[in-house]
Amino acid sequence: MTMITTEIRHFEDTAVAVISIDNPPVNSLGSQLRVQLGEALTSTIADPLVQAIVLTGTGRFFSGGADIREFNTPKTGVRPVLREIISIIENAAKPVVAAINGIALGGGLELTLGCHGRVVSKEAKLGLPEVKLGVLPGAGGTQRLPRLVGVSAALDIIVGGEPLTADQAQACGLVDQVATGNLQDDACAYAVSIVQGTRARSRIDPAPLDEPVDEAIFDNARQKAQRKYRGCTAPLACIECVAKCLSADLSSGLAYEAEQFARLVNGEQSKALRHIFFAERKAVKRVAMGGPSLTIRKVGVVGAGTMGGGIAMSLANAGIPVMLLEQSDAAIKKGWETIQHNFAGNVKRGRFTESQVQQRLQLIGRTTRYEDLSDSDLIIEAAFEDMAVKKEIFTRLDSVCQSDAILASNTSRLDIDEIAAVTSRRDKILGMHFFSPANVMRLLEVVKGAHTSNQVIDAVFELAGKIDKTPVLVGVCDGFVGNRMISHYTREAYFLLEEGASPAQIDGALRSFGMAMGPLQMQDMAGLDISWAARKRQAGTRSPDLRYSCVADRICEMGRFGQKTGSGFYRYEPGSRKPLPDPEIDLLIALCAQEAGIIRRDISDQEIIARTIYALVNEGAKIVQDQIAQRPSDIDVVYVAGYGFPIFRGGPMFYADTIGLPTVLETIKEFHERFGDYWSPAPLLTQLAQNGGKFSDL
């Protein structure tokens, strides 16, 4: 398969070889392409008739970088490796100019750093996102970029991981020219001017970088990295590699970078981050199922509370008109004021300008009349989590909305099929479970009911992409994927409280594991009354033979619902979200343990982590077996994107694979013997462990 094409162009009486990378969809620099590119460069450099070379890409991409599917395989070592190709370019006697036609990321951008000039299209995006995959730019990016743009700008680009626009790249010195006409013509002209001596070729100085740099720049970069990439090691390695430029020549710096890259790419964190990278792409990919497509142009939202307001903001951010409905003028006024306040916070943080906020606010209409939703293509119900309330809303929506409108519930637990049964359009009913705050959190559980059509699912997945959400398809059961699993996670936290652990110890142990917050602090943030309502609803189906902790119920009976009431498992000072230990709760826990006949003991952090995380894994295996999730990796996406599971561990199912399923199963069997039927091992987990399999095999 030909991935590299070469065309000789005669430009101002100068022969320019235009070498094009053609490896759709992203022009990745896999082993086969590198062989062909190396041959094309070598032959054109040796050709006496060629005086200059322009390197470009086809389609939307110059190059998306390395083929990460080849990482940790023999193909990564196929010669020439990318570092060698860049060296060929850098040392060529003839000028090589990069014509960056679109997106140049990772190894694609590193390829251009070896060139003697960089000309970009106005639409170009350039970046080094390797840090997000748990590695660092391994083909010279950490050494050449600081020598080109300076230490501060290089740290922003490498550690930040976000792409630059063409204008931003030119402003910092990353590129030499933004094309005003035809990109290839401008790049050829640039190369010819080097040949003619009217423009100097860009060269990376191999000496140590002679730039006075305050050590505070690196300290600040480390602090920012620890906030943005909590628990990840790659950002700190990136910073150390950039710092190496100040003390090492290019050759030594490249050797150091290669050592650090090899260490990271073979580490568990990079494998976990790459797993999530591919898992997200599998989760969001939909195969066209045939039939008429549905287009969502206008959306109605029922409920202007925390969730409804956040959903409306997400839609308005994507330029989609929204009609927000509430029961009363007072309720809609309160919801509108909250939306305005949240957008004002975005302005203060520099995310939007005032004019951008005004554009978004103008897209959000407000009403108290159901009839005003009649022209919406999709209506999302975000009302109180009560089946009777939701049935009443859907009955009214079904009567006033156009016949082809999609009706969705933001329920986090309730039966979508039961809600659909009160309508005349069961094929157009589904769940859209957003996560709070909906305008920030990227996860969207898309709940397919028994009768939901594939066209409806496709339309909602397309909308999710527009509003920057990561949709994961799930089936109907109590709690779907995320909350069905979280019930077992918090159950173990409640049991551990009664057995001797404190709220602070449980939350601290799980934060040390890498969770964004512990289960009890998370409950306080979400509102203890929400899970309390679910437990009361489930009470009639709960076996009296199974252990039940009443700690959380007792806390709710005291009127302590978490942060919103100033107290829950912790107490909170006015205006503060910092959890403070409360002796009153410690006494309550001890009393509940005494009433249950539990003798309290010292509990290790290791036991806390094993019981809570393995509870997720065991229930996750049952969810896959029940076909509520399509694949284990979807569960990992749900937990990383929606529940604060550490991304550097790859999600609960991938984490279990890294521990080894036989080891996980043996521990769960021990818990089964000690703690009873809650810990009955999932049959799928048992099968995989006994056969030497992994969740990632499924």
Residue 285 pLDDT > 90: no
Please check the confidence at residue 470 and state whether its pLDDT lies above 80.
yes
pTM of the model: 0.94
Closest by CA to 131, choosing from 31, 2, 255, 224, is 224
Buried b (16+ CB within 10 A) or exposed e, 276-303: beebbeebbebeeeeeeebebebbbbbb
pLDDT for 544: 85
CA–CA distance from 285 to each of 279, 461, 464, 470 (Å)? Answer: 10, 9, 12, 10
- State how far the alpha carbon of 221 is from the alpha carbons of 154, 155, 169, 235, in Å: 11, 7, 20, 9
Handedness of CA 495, 501, 507, 511 (dihedral sign): negative
Beta-sheet strand order (sheet of 103-105) = 61-63, 103-105, 125-127, 164-165
CA distance readout (Å), 318 to 137, 229, 436? 32, 26, 18
Q: What angle do CA 30, 32, 36 make, to 5 degrees?
A: 115
Q: Distance (Å, rounded) from C-alpha 110 to C-alpha 104?
A: 9
Angle, CA of 274, 266 and 510, to the nearest 5°: 65
pLDDT at 220 over 60: yes
What average pLDDT score do residues 495-511 get?
98
Residues 165-193: tens digit of each pLDDT: 999 999 999 999 999 999 999 999 999 99
Question: How would residue 292 be classed by pLDDT, with cut points 50, 70 and 90?
Answer: low
For residue 354, how far is the Cα from the chain centroid?
Answer: 28
The pLDDT of residue 291 is: 60
**Beta partners for residue 61, in sequence order:** 103
E-assigned strand segments in 73-170: 96-100, 103-105, 117-120, 125-127, 164-165
| Cα–Cα dist 646/648, whole Å | 5
* CATH architecture of the region 4-265: Alpha-Beta Complex (3.90)
Phi, psi (degrees; rounded to nearest 5) at 38: -60, -40
What integer best gives the mean pLDDT of the chain?
A: 96
Write the DSSP symbol of residue 529: H
Q: For 316-374, how does the pLDDT look when each residue is reduced to its tens digit (9 = 90+)?
A: 999 999 999 999 999 999 999 999 999 999 999 999 999 999 999 999 999 999 999 99
Q: How confident is the model at residue 287 (pLDDT cuts 50, 70, 90)?
A: low
SS (H, E, C) 106-128: CHHHHHHHCCCEEEECCCCEEEC
Alpha helices in 401-516 (DSSP H): 416-420, 454-466, 482-499, 503-513
What is the predicted pLDDT for the residue at 302?
98
The pLDDT assigned to 542 comes to 85
Asked if pLDDT for residue 103 goes beyond 90, the answer is yes
With contact defined as beta carbons under 8 Å apart, do 177 and 119 qualify?
yes
CB 515 within 8 A of CB 646: yes
Question: Which among 622, 685, 686, 614 has a CA at the least distance from the CA of 655?
Answer: 614
Q: Which of 110, 385, 492, 498 is catalytic?
A: 110
Residues forming a β-bridge with 567:
562, 571
Peptide bond into 437 cis (omega under 30): yes
Q: Which residues contact 290 (CB under 8 A, 6 or more apart)?
A: none
Categorize the per-residue pLDDT at 586 as very low, low, confident or very high, splitting at 50, 70 and 90: very high
Q: For 443, phi and psi rounded to 5 degrees? A: -75, 140
Map out the domains of the chain as residue ranges. 4-265, 299-474, 482-697
Gap between the Cα atoms of 477 and 76, Å rounded: 44
Kindly report, residue by residue over 597-654, the tens digit of the pLDDT. 999 999 999 999 999 999 999 999 999 999 999 999 999 999 999 999 999 999 999 9
> What's the burial of 673, exposed, middle or buried (CB within 10 Å: 0-12/13-18/19+)?
exposed
pLDDT at residue 76, as a whole number: 86
Residue 110 annotated to the active site: yes
Report percent pLDDT > 70 for the chain: 99
| Angle, CA of 598, 602 and 608, to the nearest 5° | 90
For 430, the enclosing helix (H) or strand (E) is strand 429-434
**280 classed as catalytic:** no
Query: What's the helix, strand, coil split of the chain in %, to 5?
Result: 50, 10, 35
- Evaluate the CA torsion angle 175, 176, 180, 181 in order and state its sign: negative
The pLDDT value recorded for residue 83 is 97
Q: Which two tokens stand for residue 443?
A: 């996860």
**299-474 CATH fold:** Rossmann fold (3.40.50)
- Per-residue burial over 351-376, b = 16 or more CB atoms within 10 Å of its CB, e = otherwise: ebeeeebeebeebbebeeebebbbeb
pLDDT in tens, 119-171: 999 999 999 999 999 999 999 999 999 999 999 999 999 999 999 999 999 99
Q: What are the phi and psi torsion angles at 596 (to 5°)? A: -85, 0
Q: How many CB atoms are closer than 10 A to CB 697?
A: 10
DSSP letter, residue 363: T
Q: What is the secondary structure of 230-255 as a DSSP string?
A: TT-SHHHHHHHHHHHTTTS-HHHHHH
The answer to whether residue 496 scores a pLDDT higher than 70 is yes
Judged against a pLDDT cut of 80, whether residue 233 lies above it is answered with yes
Give Dmax over CA atoms of the chain in angstroms: 94
The active-site residue out of 90, 130, 280, 499 is 130
C-alpha distances in Å from residue 591, one per residue of 15, 271, 599:
87, 45, 11
3-state secondary structure string across 371-419 = HHHCCCCEEEECCCCCHHHHHHHHHHHHHHCCCCCEEEECCCCCCHHHH
Q: What is the dihedral of CA 261, 263, 266, 272, to 10 degrees?
A: -80
| Radius of gyration over every alpha carbon of the chain, rounded to an integer in angstroms | 28
CA 615, 616, 622, 623 torsion: positive or negative? positive
* 80 cis-preceded (ω within 30 degrees of 0): yes
The burial class, CB within 10 Å (0-12 / 13-18 / 19+), for 674 is exposed
How many CB atoms within 10 Å of residue 58? Answer: 16
Its sign, for the CA torsion 186, 187, 192, 193, is positive
Q: How many residues make up the chain in this entry?
A: 698
CATH number (1.10.1040.50, 3.20.20.370, 2.40.50.140, 1.10.600.10) of 482-697 reads 1.10.1040.50
* Rounded Cα distance, 577 and 571, in Å: 9
pLDDT digits (tens, 9 = 90+) for 24-67: 999 999 999 999 999 999 999 999 999 999 999 999 999 999 99
Which of these, 248, 240, 241, 239, lies nearest to 208 by C-alpha position? 248
**Res. 517: pLDDT tops 90:** yes
